[in-house]
Amino acid sequence: MASNSPAPEGIELQETPGAGAWGEWNPTEDSARPLRGKHRVLKPRGGLARSSTVLGVGVIAAVGAGGIATAQDRPQVAISVPSLPDLLGGGEHAATAAAHADSVAVPRQADGQEAVRTQGHADAGEALRHRILQQAESQQDAAEAQARADAERAARESAAQEARSQKEAAEKEAEAVRAAAEKAAAEKAAADQAAAAQAQTTGAADTGSGGGPSVKSSGGWSLPTSSYTLTSHYGDSGSMWSSGYHTGLDFAAPTGTPVKAVGGGTVVSAGWSGAYGYRIVLRLDDGTEIWYCHLSSMSVTSGSVGAGETIGRVGATGNVTGAHLHLEVRKGGSTVDPLAWLTARGLDV
């Protein structure tokens, strides 16, 4: 059937072929023009898709409805599908539609990608923050550990320094003790040498080869020392004695002169006694006590002794003005005159 309807815009019609040229109409690659423009998917308006394919199909349907003959009755027609800008009329309207398509379809796809990127950025930021916090904690722990180590090292050094100071003080004290002991030993050696020399002199006097009084014994009694000079007697008064008077008999003699037991008895006390210096207390068999004071050394400090036995040596210890033997005789706790007591026992003082 012939039709006088004009062809739709964008569709080219060929001249009617001759008889016998009709066949089954099947558009091929040669009979269809290539698509022009870029295929875009637009948002439907009024329920009709705006893609080029849909519009092309719609055009074909419209042509069929207008009374175009079937493929058997019409010659082959080359159909080209217009692009979207051609269908929309081109120009500003087409540009507006394309921009609308970009603003509608593309951002919808980009929103998901942006969300993924945003989520990825958030995860990366959280991981970075976590790593920074871990590094800060590690650095703080290291600083605290270093501070503890420094404090412990300082404490150890302080303790070591204190130990060294104590050791040095102990060494100095030990050195002082050794020096004092050496000094005492030297003094004792000097006293022993003097006593030995005095003993030789005393021995000569005892044999009658020298002058002066000698140690005498009578009936088991002996003078307390030899080569002496009586300087103070019992009962002498003066400020030198705490009791206001002299309570003994002083035998002045060189330091180191031997001191003898006046009779047989027991040494009950020996040691330092304040103003008396070094003192030996000899208790006789009848209970009488003989005090030997201001000694430089003590030979017997305990036990029994016989008359004339050396128990110490003359010295100048305690409250004295020179070397001498202070002899006291005490009976019942009271002092008696040593000179009278010795004379009564046959000793020539």
| pLDDT band at residue 69 using 50, 70 and 90 as cut-offs | very low
Residue 213: Cβ within 10 Å count: 13
Per the CB < 8 A criterion, the answer to whether 225 and 314 are in contact is yes
The pLDDT of residue 186: 77
- DSSP reduced 3-state for 86: helix
Of the candidates 222, 225, 220, 218, the residue with the CA atom closest to the CA atom of residue 249:
225
The pLDDT of residue 210: 34
Per the CB < 8 A criterion, the answer to whether 278 and 271 are in contact is yes
| pLDDT band at residue 56 using 50, 70 and 90 as cut-offs | low
Sign of the four-CA dihedral 277, 278, 280, 281: positive
More reliable by pLDDT, 47 or 189: 189
| pLDDT band at residue 302 using 50, 70 and 90 as cut-offs | very high
Whether the pLDDT of residue 159 is over 70: the answer is yes
DSSP string for residues in 276-308: G-EEEEEEETTS-EEEEEEEEEES--SEEE-TT
The pLDDT of residue 44: 53
The CA distance from 308 to 306, in Å, is 6
The C-alpha angle with vertex 215 and arms to 213 and 217, in degrees rounded to 5, equals 125
Mean pLDDT for the chain overall: 74
Helix (H) or strand (E) holding 267: strand 265-272
The pLDDT of residue 202: 47
Return all residues near 306 (Cβ < 8 A) that are at least 6 apart.
Answer: 261, 264
Average pLDDT over residues 47-58: 50
Q: What is the pTM of this model?
A: 0.41
Average pLDDT over residues 291-312: 95
Q: 303 φ, ψ to 5°?
A: 95, 180
The pLDDT of residue 1: 47
The dihedral over CA atoms of 28, 34, 40, 45, expressed in degrees to the nearest 10, equals -60
The pLDDT of residue 185: 75
